[in-house]
Structure 1
């Protein structure tokens, strides 16, 4: 999924995105915390409005997870639904995760896949890839899901691009709990999705009234996003759309469901490298970002997406400001 870019002819008070330096181990909490991350709404293709939770004004990364959009549930019966034209990525992985609806993925490798609820669509951009995402025609009435990015470490960010579609994922079960392991390992279950840093992503389905202590890795930092329902996470009530950053040092996480509920658990070793993230690119310097933008605009390096009915996205203008080093938090 792309960062939104407006039509240059359309009036807007929103400035072009500013490059930001993210990552670095030094600002990771040394123990458990409760930090509620406030979402900001952003229009994204067709009738889709997303709630951006990461990066936020207070926190930029959770392990290698560097981008989280939550959308829906939206009634798109009479709407086009998600329509994200071809756009580029480098230096990251994209994770498409659905609870309702379908997303048709096309990319410059020639991949064509329909990602459905609780199936993993994982794209590794490596040095360069482009893709599009759209609701199929015809499509289901409801659309509800999350789009996430994982930053690639320096040792893997120039790797060849790849796309994986995993319809069947492992589960961890307990009374009142069914956890689908999206990436990494939770308890004894490991996802088939390719990872390049120690991390975990899991979808937790809780039945009303469930109390559970979820085992965690104390060296990981974690965050939890409420996809639906009402829960208590480590004693703090969370409503739909809320994301709670939990810090490190937790051997387990107490969960209580007031209603039937679903949560996304994200975690990983704190990402020690500092990186520059701008639009749909992750690099290590402003010069890398400038070169990537030029390559996309001139039609080199990122390839072509065939089959999407419409033009590709153009990159926004780079801001005329120097990069200001920032860590994992602002």
Structure 2
């Protein structure tokens, strides 16, 4: 054995679990097929809000725990990439947060608003101040924090869990969409998301319109120096190439909300595949030979939102 735990997967879910394990005193190694910038997490909008993830009761508890962590990290935004930002969630009421009551109660400012406080065309919504994460900064922060706790990260692919099980007492599966083939688990399916990054013309509040089941989303997520514009939710789509027509439509929808975005310079086009599943799989099983395998995947569009709460459960399940 060369480690107490090997975490397979280097996105936000895997790195958060690895940090929690390492800071609990375990020897931890992360095996990541892709570097941080190449993971689905790097493409995430990363507004801390439950989206396309079940079951609600567990998600609510994970979200509350994660919210507390992000609020602490927001005290050092330059280091962590986490800031508390105000904004509006369209066509949503407090009643729509049923199942996430504890999470909603934990938000410092959350209230219903009418058409007078919404962009044209939107009759109602919620105003909230919640964490918004710059994923490029945050993923590097997590990597540094893991190294400081004695962990390590290696770019390494696996074809099965026997490989890490030969080197660690516990293996944690945080492979996201990769779990579809690796486990294998046919319940894991992609939900394709495309976004456009533009220079920030002065936008300082976020806006999201994400009707349940809709494939066309509208979101404006401001970061220092740039704004993420989205989006889409193409269930079952595997293509990673940006669609120019889709990008044009995204900018048009966002400019209807914030007209100053219409002429903003495009910095980058991004596409990511959310690892959707009917329910998150977070449980421990035993492999032949006695190694414990902890599954932690299927977080849909809310991996960042629940990462720390799930990490606490991973530490408990790791034994």
TM-score normalised to structure 1 length: 0.28
Greater helix fraction, Structure 1 or Structure 2: 2
Greater strand fraction, Structure 1 or Structure 2: 1
